[in-house]
Amino acid sequence: MLPHLVRAQPALDTIKLCLREKPYPFFKFDNRNSFIENSRAKILGIKAGICYGHRLQFGIGYNQLYPPTTNFDNQHHFINNYGQKDSVTEKLKLFYVSLDVEYSFFQTKHWQISMPLQIGLGDSYYKYTIGKESTKLGENFNFVYEPAVSVEYKPIKWVGIGADIGYRFMITQEQKLNQKFTSPIYAFNLLIYYSEILKYFFPKSKFLL
């Protein structure tokens, strides 16, 4: 056990030092790819929170499946107003609110490697619309756990590029959906450092470091 404690101690010391720093706000858009039943599925998200010492972030986010994958489409059959058999397409919907923690364990002027973690709660269901009336089917409560590793390259102060790789573990009330939603996740992003831009235009702001 001792070697593991020795290696972990520098990271714990860094986290303690970060928490002593004055926090500043951050916000960012998120775009992650994953798979649902062997088909690529995109999760869009937006996050906001506070950052300590440019290394430790705590935030909250909203995430949703977009656009809904057609591989999960079902046909809902009904009798229309003319007494005829008809059908509409049921679309799979997924969204969840997440708590986010990210720790950067390697930093240089241009490079950063960090470990983001998301824990979320949300909902999944099928939805169809007839006329102006929408109906949900098979609504399920979801628990989402997403650990990942993120690499960023920052050639200039305001803009960078990044790559994330991780895994999404998802538990729902519907066992069939568990298998479909649990998946590797990956992303390749163009990064815009809004906090750096704000600091440039508002250098005396008390909320930015």
What is the pLDDT confidence band of residue 186, given thresholds at 50, 70 and 90?
very high
Above 70 in pLDDT, residue 6? no
Q: Taking residues 136-158, report their average pLDDT.
A: 90
Instruction: Look at the chain and report how many structural domains it folds into.
Output: 1
79 in any annotated domain? yes
Whose structure tokens read 């088909």? 39
25 in any annotated domain? yes
Span 102-141, pLDDT tens digits: 999 898 989 999 999 999 999 988 888 888 888 888 888 8
Give the pLDDT confidence score for residue 198 in this predicted structure: 74
Above 60 in pLDDT, residue 8? no
Calpha distance 64→42 (Å, rounded): 8
58 lies in which domain range? 2-201
pTM: 0.78
Calpha distance 170→166 (Å, rounded): 13
Contacts of 32 (CB under 8 A, 6+ apart): 42, 43, 45, 164, 185, 186, 187
CATH of the domain at 82: 2.40.160.20
Span 30-75, pLDDT tens digits: 889 988 777 788 899 999 999 988 889 999 999 999 876 677 788 8
Give the pLDDT confidence score for residue 59 in this predicted structure: 96
What is the pLDDT confidence band of residue 187, given thresholds at 50, 70 and 90?
very high
206 in any annotated domain? no
208 in any annotated domain? no
Q: What is the overall mean pLDDT for the chain?
A: 83
Above 50 in pLDDT, residue 5? no
**Long-range contacts made by residues 103-108, C-beta under 8 angstroms, separation at least 24?**
103/11, 103/15, 103/55, 103/56, 103/57, 104/54, 104/55, 104/56, 105/11, 105/14, 107/54, 107/55
Q: Which residue did the predictor score with more confidence, 151 or 11?
A: 151
What is the pLDDT confidence band of residue 175, given thresholds at 50, 70 and 90?
low
128 in any annotated domain? yes
